[in-house]
Structure 1
Amino acid sequence: MKNNFIHYIQRQIILDNPDEAASPFYAELQAYDLGFETPRFHVTRSKSWPVSDIKEDDVIWLVGQLSASWGKLPPAIDAKIVVGEIEEINHAEGKSKTRFTAKEGSAWFPLIDATDILSSLEVVLKAGEIKRPYSPKKDNLGQAFQSLKKIHDSSALNNFASEILSKEFEFISYRIADGTKSAFTRAEEQIQLGSAVFWDRWSLPRRLAERRELVSDEALNKFLMGKIQESSLVWGIESPRYDEEGSYSQKEKQLALTLKKYAASSDL
């Protein structure tokens, strides 16, 4: 029988990024390698229970709450990691970390409010006690799941995840240079309406989300265009630099217009 675990991942929008794609800043933020379609791995430095109990084919659910200087979005499921190879990686000074490779069945998730499901989730403590660690009133998502925890019954979470992946999603197209805050506001509004939202600040590995306009990457471009084709609607955040020649946002807008699914969002 597969065991399910849950772990909080801090997701924060940072605007004052270095201009060089090779900067160590981006290496630190590369949490999941270059996994556009699905996560590649998850890493923890913890050696405490239940990390040692995780086996191949178990599932690690990553959850988070995207925050910025102007606010934060509702709690959401970041990724599902179906555990493959488990590797202990040693570092200097005797320190080490555990790397869980993600195998088939792993997935990224769009932004959708997961407050209800996460607040009802029960975890098992080492001594066998069962408790609900997350309370929306306390706003304690990070504290509740900052250490990796074993889920008591994952059936409701599995059902919720399946619903998210089968649900139509809306794509947010924006310019990092001057449209990030407005994109955040649009994402917040659509999530409040119950929509699932693909926004690269959440739906891509952090390294790619932060540096995508600093590199010319055919695979990334193909992936984003594919997501536009899959989406039900494309919100274009029409900031002053949104439609600049050669930008990702210009390509996204042109495709969305061709597919007749473009909605301008210039009034935020």
Structure 2
Amino acid sequence: MDPMSKRKRPATKLSHMHDNSWYIIKLNLRCAQCCCGTANPTGAQIERMPGFEGAMLEEHNSSRDRVVRNLRDIEGIDVSRKSIVLYRVTRIALNNMEKLFALSNPGSRVVCQVDDAGRFFRCFLAIRSVMDVQKLLLPDWISDGTHMKQPQYNVDKDGNKRIDPVAVAYVHKETIENFVWVFGNCIVAGIALHDRPTFTDRGKQRSAQQVLASMGLQVNIKFCALNIRFSTVDKFKKIDVTKDNVNNGIMDVQSSRTLREYNQKVEQLQKNFPLRQNLYLSGQVQVQ
């Protein structure tokens, strides 16, 4: 007998199997799309998904459409019908992000307000490092609003990239009460609004100034001349007012130093662009 045949069989993981046995030596582990079920994640599960976290990153918006699209593209999950869950987890994420910002930036003012049902209502954020050097900045402010549905128009999207955001607020609508809340938070945060003009494009902000004045809080609101020009052209386009022929007049009015000078320039504008009125005389309409 061959001495090699007397050697002990090597111990392997297959030693216990009989000779000539059949066994599987390799598995090709591929996922098969056999399941026809639909994922139904909870709010806590959505909050921890990379697709949801990616929608909340810098330079992205947290709108419902974007969150739904991200979860569909990255996670393969359709949550378009779970609006309440999405709004709830988005509110939680925004609140947590604000808390982290406040911890990382001591002295900054961070406010997140909810409604009576505990849902997200509005938030405010003022950056302490910018407030500390506000005396070194150009001594005027601009207050402007942007709609979340417009991706091309966001904070700091100015022409030369030199506008520094000092405070950012997220509200559901541009109302007088919301402007009072925003300006009030600016004052509490330490932003100087009394000794420098704040240029705006909304009459509601001027009304907010009156409300704050009744509370003993001074805000110096000024209307932006360019927005006045655009609004004037839109309102009086029926009497041939254009940006070219009304520009100088509006700039003159805005540069008035006294009330008397202001009234004189307004009267001159009225002469240059007389309003047509429909008068009913003896049952007939006359345009004057």
| Higher helix content, 1 or 2 | 2
User: TM-score under structure 2 normalisation?
Assistant: 0.28
User: TM-score under structure 1 normalisation?
Assistant: 0.29
| Higher strand content, 1 or 2 | 1
Name which one, 1 or 2, has greater alpha-carbon Rg: 2
